[in-house]
Amino acid sequence: MHCSDIECGGILAKVTPLQRYIAEEIATDHVDGLLSRREALRRLALLGVGTAGATALFAACSQTREPAAEAPVTSSDPATASAPPPGAENALPTAPITWAGPRGELQGAWAEAPTARGGVLVIHENKGLNDHTRSVAGRFAGIGYSALAIDLLSAQGGTATFADPAEATAALGKIPPEEALADLRSGVDELQRRVLGKKVAAVGFCMGAGYVWRLLAAGEPRLSAAVPFYGPTPENPDFSRSKDVAVLGIYAAEDQRVNATEPVARAALEKAGLVFELVTEPDADHAFFNDTRERYNATAAADAWRRVQDWLSRYVA
């Protein structure tokens, strides 16, 4: 799904770009049958989108989206998948940590590789720092990269303080991007302190991938590699200050909403002269790497995990 600028611009005129992205994701989940209308309306209301606007958004987002019955959104049901998610067999445990950030204490989950080849900053989806994101950090540690999964809701007490995941998502949508970027840069500080002398990368998913793109646009000089999974490209990005970062962008063939921003990312990467590769996984949809969600695709996840490992081997260790 990708609403036209005219349609969504009118419906979501009073929300931030991040809130708009989240609202479109909620609408897509409803159109695909993953959320009831009542639940979708509730989640949109938390973002400040009323019933009339939500109804119009559902209609706009369904115009270019195939019905779920004709195009199944998943090729591997997480409830019946026989194999563990890629990397899980060697995953290491994580431990909660805190450190001093630019606006107060920051929280995260730390997974330490015995002999670290490098470090990875893991940036979560718009659900906050949950067990899935912690497991991803553990998987990176299991292949030799100590990983820090940051909690972007630290200033609000942390993701764990939100009993309702939808409220955590709404709270993430209200964080000014510049504040989130400052916290992410502090996360890079902490990661570098823990993997002294090693190269580091940033890997993000969904909203977190959008923040990986924002780090590149902000010219974060300490990253050697960046891997955004199906994340929206910022408007008119300039990556010229991130010339030393090797970028692996991962997309899903059925994720029309995010794929609409892929040409923008490609053009900006080419203009900046960065080393990059943009990969689209066939027969996969948004959030295909998350084995706790309905769109998990084991085949695409395994291929993406292999590509990420290759990329980190080439540009981080």
pLDDT at residue 5 is higher than 50? no
Rounded to 10°, the helix 51-62/17-31 angle is 70
pLDDT at residue 58 is higher than 50? yes
Q: State the DSSP H helix or E strand holding residue 100, giving kind and residue range, or none if neither.
A: strand 95-101
pLDDT at residue 73 is higher than 90? no
* pLDDT single digits (tens) 125-136: 999 999 999 999
| Residue whose structure tokens are 């689209």 | 280
Distance, CA of 216 to chain centre: 14
* pLDDT single digits (tens) 155-164: 999 999 999 9
Q: How confident is the model at residue 13 (pLDDT cuts 50, 70, 90)?
A: low
Structure token pair of residue 278: 């943009």
In DSSP notation, 114-135 reads: TT-SEEEEEE--TT-S-HHHHH
* pLDDT single digits (tens) 232-270: 999 999 999 999 999 999 999 999 999 999 999 999 999
Q: How far is it between the farthest Cα atoms of the chain?
A: 55
C-alpha to C-alpha distance for 159 and 19, rounded to whole angstroms: 18
Q: Calculate the alpha carbon distances from 81 to 76, 297, 298, 309, 316 in Å.
A: 6, 9, 8, 23, 32
Q: How confident is the model at residue 3 (pLDDT cuts 50, 70, 90)?
A: low
Over residues 119-130, mean pLDDT: 98
Give pLDDT, residue 215: 98
Q: State the DSSP H helix or E strand holding residue 108, giving kind and residue range, or none if neither.
A: strand 104-111
Instruction: Please name the amino acid found at residue 265.
Output: A
| Of the candidates 147, 157, 165, 204, the residue with the CA atom closest to the CA atom of residue 181 | 204
In DSSP notation, 10-43 reads: HHTTTS-HHHHHHHHHHHHHHHTTSS-HHHHHHH
C-alpha to C-alpha distance for 8 and 21, rounded to whole angstroms: 10
The percentage of the chain sitting over the pLDDT mark of 70, rounded to a whole number, equals 90
Give pLDDT, residue 10: 59
Strand partners, 55: none
Strands 118-123 and 95-101: what pairing? unpaired
Strands 276-281 and 145-151: what pairing? unpaired
Give pLDDT, residue 69: 36
C-alpha to C-alpha distance for 250 and 16, rounded to whole angstroms: 25
pLDDT at residue 307 is higher than 90? yes
Q: How confident is the model at residue 72 (pLDDT cuts 50, 70, 90)?
A: very low
* pLDDT single digits (tens) 249-259: 999 999 999 99
pLDDT at residue 281 is higher than 70? yes
pLDDT at residue 68 is higher than 60? no
Structure token pair of residue 222: 């300490």
Tell me the whole-structure pTM to 2 decimals.
0.92
| Residues 243/223, Cβ–Cβ less than 8 Å | no
pLDDT at residue 194 is higher than 50? yes
Give pLDDT, residue 62: 84
Q: How confident is the model at residue 75 (pLDDT cuts 50, 70, 90)?
A: very low
